[in-house]
């Protein structure tokens, strides 16, 4: 099974194709090739290191809350 996770774009690198994203405190690099006109501060869904879809802030926050609940359950 593959999972996609919501993340916030913190920084777009000079090449314009990669960004530093934040998964609720965990920062990683992601590829932006599939996203049209990505902007710092936007939320995206990341799958296998690629941003595949933009989310509005409300969707992103709801997704992040669900992820937190999921992680608490599997951590028990």
User: Domain total for the chain?
Assistant: 1
Question: Computed over its alpha carbons, how large is the radius of gyration of the chain?
Answer: 12
Where in the sequence is the domain holding 36, given as residue range(s)?
Answer: 5-75
pLDDT computed for residue 1 by the predictor: 52
- From first to last of the 76 residues of the chain, give the pLDDT tens digit: 567 888 999 999 999 999 999 988 889 999 999 999 999 999 999 999 999 999 998 988 888 888 788 878 887 7
pTM of the model: 0.84
pLDDT computed for residue 74 by the predictor: 85
């Amino acid at each position: 099974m593959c999972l996609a996770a919501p993340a916030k774009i913190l920084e777009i690198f000079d090449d314009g194709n990669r960004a530093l994203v934040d998964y609720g405190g965990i920062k990683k690099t992601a590829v932006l090739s599939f996203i049209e006109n990505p902007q710092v501060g936007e939320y995206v869904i990341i799958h296998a290191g690629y941003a595949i879809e933009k989310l509005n802030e409300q969707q992103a926050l709801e997704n992040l809350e669900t992820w937190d609940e999921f992680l608490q359950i599997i951590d028990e």
